[in-house]
Amino acid sequence: MIHSKRALTLIAAAIAAALAACGEQKPAPKAEAPKAPPSLEIKIGHVGPLTGGIAHLGKDNENGARLAVEQANEAKIKIDGKDTKFVFFAEDDQADPKVGTTVAQKLVDAKVAGVVGHLNSGTSIPASDIYNKAGIPVISGSATNPKLTEQGFKVQFRVVGRDDQQGPAIASYLAATRKPKLVAVIDDATAYGEGIANEVEKTLKAAHIKVLPREKGNDKTTDWKAILTKLKGKNPDAVFYGGMDATGGPLLKQGRELGVKAVFSFGDGACTDEMTKLAGAAADGLLCSQAGIPPQAADKKFTEAYKKRFNADPILYAPFTYDGANLLIEAMKKANSADPAKYLPELAKIDFTGATGKIAFDAKGDRKDAEMTIFTMKGGKLAPIAIIKGGQTIAYEDFAKAAAAPAAPAVAPAAPTPAPAKEAPKK
């Protein structure tokens, strides 16, 4: 029996050896699937008035920034080797400086990486100190008071021109085309309204045009009859109002009802189609300026995407807030980091072509070579009539043609010398 067991053991061992020799082995363990890269969440804030008389402008600004963030998420951007998700934080500052500082601190506490906003200069200026102390970059697409970028804050930028560019632009155009001898200037006592009115008055006086003593309302004034009755007795040739459309519309309507025949002109805050809703037929013929190119001149990819996403056309500064959000994202990509301290230097030296054209910043954070656009109201719709850039005025039709022309080839064949182009008239 012992010999039999030993024989069986030897036979089993021989069979096992034979099977091994034939190559029968245990299957190798399957390779583990590669792990997905860790995700990175980056918060971007936007602030503007979402309630109150100019909520339509605040929502327009918000939509522009929101569209940029949504498109960035669709593009599946990687930063620092990580799949990136941008999270959009929209806040309502009610166009109120106190609320503006409160929501600015709220965004800082939420640890946003960057902010687009605020809409108004009156909220942007006090809020800028909060962002500066936190080291968070902020880009305004619509605040135009020079003080915003004169404070020396390295985190503050804007992608539109300043009132000391816009005020002279509308004042010079008014003086050159309407030739007024006496002008009334009114403002709404805000940082924006008073600031642009000051620039207009300064330019008119430099052109030896008489300006009446300043009249003032506030950003809630809708009954202008007392001021307008007083002005009617002075018989001005033109009236300039520094303020927003919610107050500028009633001013214009009541002026016409009282028989004031002057040309009414406005800055960008009242340079919207909303003026027709607020002033009715009285809006036709007004003059106004915007601190940048008009929305219809923005890149077609942007305007088409905006209309598809929001079922509306951009009103005023949405192309600029769209660019503002994209500038923050582009700087993060260049720095390969969403840390404000790391991407801020990239933002300061950025050279970027966006929906509103080429964007680069000067040492103060202002946009270099910013355009100004002059509009008039025709048949209830704003129509751009001139672009002012670098001290020159060009008809809008000529500007649009030049913008639509295809770029010249790098090496062009020899051609006959063209006749010298006409110089654009000086503003």
pLDDT in tens, 346-371: 999 999 999 999 999 999 999 999 99
Does the pLDDT of residue 16 top 70, yes or no? no
- Residue 402 confidence (pLDDT): 80
Asked if residue 176 and residue 256 are part of one domain, the reply reads yes
d(CA 270, CA 396): 20
288-297: pLDDT as tens digits: 999 999 998 9
- Residue 392 confidence (pLDDT): 86
Task: Say if 53 falls within a structural domain.
Answer: yes
Task: Say if 128 falls within a structural domain.
Answer: yes
Task: Say if 244 falls within a structural domain.
Answer: yes
CB 227 within 8 A of CB 215: yes
Q: What is the CATH number of the domain that holds 281?
A: 3.40.50.2300
Asked if residue 172 and residue 154 are part of one domain, the reply reads no
Q: Which amino acid is at 268?
A: D
Q: How far is CA 371 from CA 42, 301, 346, 358, 410, in A?
A: 32, 21, 24, 11, 26
CB 347 within 8 A of CB 328: yes
Q: Give helix 55-74 / helix 300-310 axis angle, nearest 10°.
A: 110
Task: Say if 330 falls within a structural domain.
Answer: yes
Asked if residue 243 and residue 146 are part of one domain, the reply reads no
- Residue 12 confidence (pLDDT): 47
Nearest Cα to 157, choosing from 373, 345, 356, 295? 345
Does the pLDDT of residue 139 top 90, yes or no? yes
Asked if residue 168 and residue 278 are part of one domain, the reply reads yes
Last residue of a domain, one of 369, 387, 406: 369
Last residue of a domain, one of 369, 390, 409: 369
Report which DSSP code applies to 218: -
Question: Number of structural domains, the chain?
Answer: 2
Asked if residue 311 and residue 281 are part of one domain, the reply reads no
Asked if residue 279 and residue 346 are part of one domain, the reply reads no
d(CA 158, CA 323): 10
- Residue 408 confidence (pLDDT): 45
- For tokens 């300061």, name the residue: 348
Does the pLDDT of residue 20 top 80, yes or no? no
How confident is the model over 278-285, as a mean pLDDT?
96
d(CA 76, CA 79): 10
Does the pLDDT of residue 417 top 50, yes or no? no
Report which DSSP code applies to 332: H
Asked if residue 117 and residue 99 are part of one domain, the reply reads yes
Task: Say if 227 falls within a structural domain.
Answer: yes
CB 184 within 8 A of CB 241: no
CB 303 within 8 A of CB 314: yes
Asked if residue 181 and residue 261 are part of one domain, the reply reads yes
Asked if residue 346 and residue 299 are part of one domain, the reply reads yes
User: DSSP string covering 78-107, please?
Assistant: EETTEEEEEEEEEEE-TT-HHHHHHHHHHH
Asked if residue 311 and residue 257 are part of one domain, the reply reads no
The model's confidence at residue 50, banded by pLDDT at 50, 70 and 90, is very high
Cis peptide before 56 (omega within 30 of 0): no
Last residue of a domain, one of 269, 290, 311: 290
Task: Say if 87 falls within a structural domain.
Answer: yes
Kindly report the pTM of this predicted structure: 0.81
For 216, counting Cβ atoms within 10 Å of its Cβ (0-12 exposed, 13-18 middle, 19+ buried), the class is middle
Nearest Cα to 114, choosing from 390, 372, 374, 342? 342
CB 125 within 8 A of CB 101: no
Q: What is the mean pLDDT of the chain?
A: 89
How confident is the model over 107-134, as a mean pLDDT?
97
Asked if residue 174 and residue 285 are part of one domain, the reply reads yes
Domain range for residue 87? 39-160+295-369
How confident is the model over 384-404, as a mean pLDDT?
87
CB 145 within 8 A of CB 199: no
How confident is the model over 127-144, as a mean pLDDT?
97
- Residue 118, phi-psi category: left (phi > 0), alpha (psi -120 to 50), beta (remainder): beta
Task: Say if 238 falls within a structural domain.
Answer: yes
Asked if residue 114 and residue 174 are part of one domain, the reply reads no
Helix (H) or strand (E) holding 240: strand 238-242
Task: Say if 119 falls within a structural domain.
Answer: yes
3-state secondary structure 16-85: HHHHHHCCCCCCCCCCCCCCCCCEEEEEEEEEECCCCCCHHHHHHHHHHHHHHHHHHHHCCCEECCEEEE
